[in-house]
């Protein structure tokens, strides 16, 4: 690979690495006193800019690997990369300062609302405006939902109704069972997605659509090149995750904002590049890729975040609160039911997108107005 094209494509790596190095060396001093508004805003925007650059670069290389590997492996690489970043960031922020025992729950709820309502709604609207109706593989979408529904209910609703332990938490035995169940279900799903029923996750029109079904311009190097660059961009993101937790927790405490806002901010940061991928695919009339990316994000977020966060809680002795409040339970059940209606037909339209988007706006309202 020629040097100049490489430097042009990978220019974000230099400021990201510099930012990570500076905050690793001086972060404790720089973040020790955030009482000055100007300094707080500067540090927060600096960290967020570096992390956004890193997240978009991760998705760019994950998409390049998707081109190399083909579906459904390509989408799987993308969703696992994003979920890995999400778990790292949740764990880092949870144990920054006073910690946040509800952050994992709030982040998973935010992922469900952002993806299944916000991004799915926007994707269906832009696709419907351009193509009126779009087709996807119904069996694949239903396979996603068949695993998402029980994991979402058992992970985020059922803890409120157990009596073994006080509060919306699971006992160690219950938490261990949920962790094993999540991993087993996700493992079985991956086996079906990548081998036994790969055709469920391919576009019904794939045979009639020649050429590459991914965004052009991503696959500029070898598989090894993109895998290495993916790793190089994830490393500084991991290093900065703990740093960004300090201003996020500070803002929530000073502004007396609802604690759910932390989960929303984490999810927006993590999902923004992946959401862009889904919208671009819908605009290119590749709704199947959008469905794989969006539903795959929700499934990976719930199926992998729950066991990993519970494992961190066991290791550190911190209580992990999973049970949602009444308002959020209502929104979650509404979203899951609405998703089943949306994916009951093999074609989608603008109306379904508008309904999902309005439910997302309701979720944002109820964060601040309970």
Cα separation, 211 vs 187, whole angstroms:
31
131 has a pLDDT exceeding 80: yes
With respect to residue 2, please indicate whether it lies within any of the assigned structural domains. no
Instruction: Evaluate the CA torsion angle 322, 323, 329, 333 in order and state its sign.
Output: positive
pLDDT of residue 19: 93
pLDDT of residue 75: 66
Q: Residue written as tokens 């764990």? A: 91
Peptide bond into 72 cis (omega under 30): yes
User: For 33, how many CA atoms within 13 A lie in the half-sphere containing its CB?
Assistant: 1
With respect to residue 280, please indicate whether it lies within any of the assigned structural domains. yes
316 has a pLDDT exceeding 80: no
pLDDT of residue 90: 75
pLDDT of residue 101: 77
263 has a pLDDT exceeding 80: yes
320 has a pLDDT exceeding 80: yes
Tokens of 325: 């409040």
pLDDT digits (tens, 9 = 90+) for 151-181: 999 999 999 999 888 878 899 999 999 999 9
Q: Could you tell me where the beta strands, DSSP code E, fall in the chain?
A: 134-135, 347-348
pLDDT of residue 12: 86
315 confidence band (pLDDT: 50, 70, 90): confident
43 has a pLDDT exceeding 80: yes
With respect to residue 68, please indicate whether it lies within any of the assigned structural domains. yes
42 confidence band (pLDDT: 50, 70, 90): very high
Q: Report the run of H or E that residue 277 belongs to, with start and end.
A: helix 260-283
Q: Residue written as tokens 């579906």? A: 71
pLDDT of residue 154: 94
Tell which residue, 70, 72, 65, 56, has the closest CA to residue 292.
Answer: 72
Proportion of the chain above pLDDT 70, given as a percent: 89
Give me the CATH number covering residue 78: 1.20.1420.30
182 has a pLDDT exceeding 90: yes
With respect to residue 106, please indicate whether it lies within any of the assigned structural domains. yes
pLDDT of residue 77: 75
Query: Between 19 and 82, where is the model more confident?
Result: 19
3-class SS of residue 347: strand
In the chain, what is the greatest distance between 2 CA atoms, to the nearest angstrom?
A: 63
pLDDT of residue 191: 86
Cα separation, 358 vs 133, whole angstroms:
20
98 confidence band (pLDDT: 50, 70, 90): low
87 has a pLDDT exceeding 80: no
Q: Which domain holds residue 337?
A: 11-205+214-368
Contact between 297 and 78 under an 8 Å Cβ cutoff? The reply is no
pLDDT of residue 353: 92
The mean pLDDT of 256-269, rounded to a whole number, is 82
With respect to residue 6, please indicate whether it lies within any of the assigned structural domains. no
User: For 160, how many CA atoms within 13 A lie in the half-sphere containing its CB?
Assistant: 11
**What's the pTM?**
0.84
350 has a pLDDT exceeding 80: yes
How many structural domains compose the chain? 1
pLDDT of residue 239: 81
Mean pLDDT of the chain: 83
pLDDT digits (tens, 9 = 90+) for 190-236: 888 887 888 888 877 654 444 444 444 455 577 788 888 888 888 88
């Amino acid at each position: 690979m020629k040097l100049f094209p490489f430097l042009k494509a990978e220019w974000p790596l230099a400021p990201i690495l510099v930012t990570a190095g500076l905050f690793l060396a001086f972060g404790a001093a720089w973040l020790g006193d955030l009482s000055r508004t100007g300094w707080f805003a500067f540090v927060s925007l600096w960290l967020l800019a570096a992390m956004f650059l890193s997240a978009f670069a991760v998705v760019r290389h994950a998409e390049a690997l998707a081109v190399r590997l083909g579906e459904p492996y390509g989408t799987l690489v993308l969703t696992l990369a994003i979920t890995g970043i999400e778990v790292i960031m949740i764990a880092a922020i949870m144990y920054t300062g006073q910690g946040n025992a509800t952050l994992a729950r709030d982040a998973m709820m935010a992922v469900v609302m952002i993806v299944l309502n916000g991004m799915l709604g926007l994707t269906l609207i832009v696709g419907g405006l351009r193509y009126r109706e779009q087709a996807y593989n119904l069996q694949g979408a239903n396979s996603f939902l068949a695993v998402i529904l029980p994991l979402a209910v058992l992970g985020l609703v059922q803890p409120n109704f157990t009596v073994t332990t006080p509060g919306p938490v699971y006992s160690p035995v219950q938490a261990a069972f949920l962790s094993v169940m999540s991993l087993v279900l996700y493992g079985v799903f991956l086996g079906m997605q990548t081998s036994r029923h790969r055709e469920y996750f391919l576009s019904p029109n794939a045979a009639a659509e020649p050429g590459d079904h991914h965004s052009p311009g991503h696959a500029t190097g070898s598989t090894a090149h993109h895998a290495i660059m993916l790793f190089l961009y994830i490393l500084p993101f991991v290093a900065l995750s703990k740093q960004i937790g300090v201003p996020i927790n500070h803002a929530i405490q000073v502004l007396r904002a609802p604690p759910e806002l932390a989960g929303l901010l984490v999810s927006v940061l993590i999902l923004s590049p992946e959401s862009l991928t889904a919208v671009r695919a819908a605009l290119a009339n590749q709704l199947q890729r959008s469905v794989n990316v969006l539903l795959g994000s929700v499934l990976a977020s719930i199926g992998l975040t729950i066991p990993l966060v519970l494992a961190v809680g066991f290791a550190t002795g911190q209580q992990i609160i999973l049970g949602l409040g009444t308002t959020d339970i209502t929104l979650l059940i509404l979203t899951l039911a609405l998703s089943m209606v949306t994916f009951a037909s093999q074609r989608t339209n603008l109306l379904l997108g508008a309904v999902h988007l309005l439910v997302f706006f309701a979720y944002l309202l109820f964060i601040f107005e309970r």
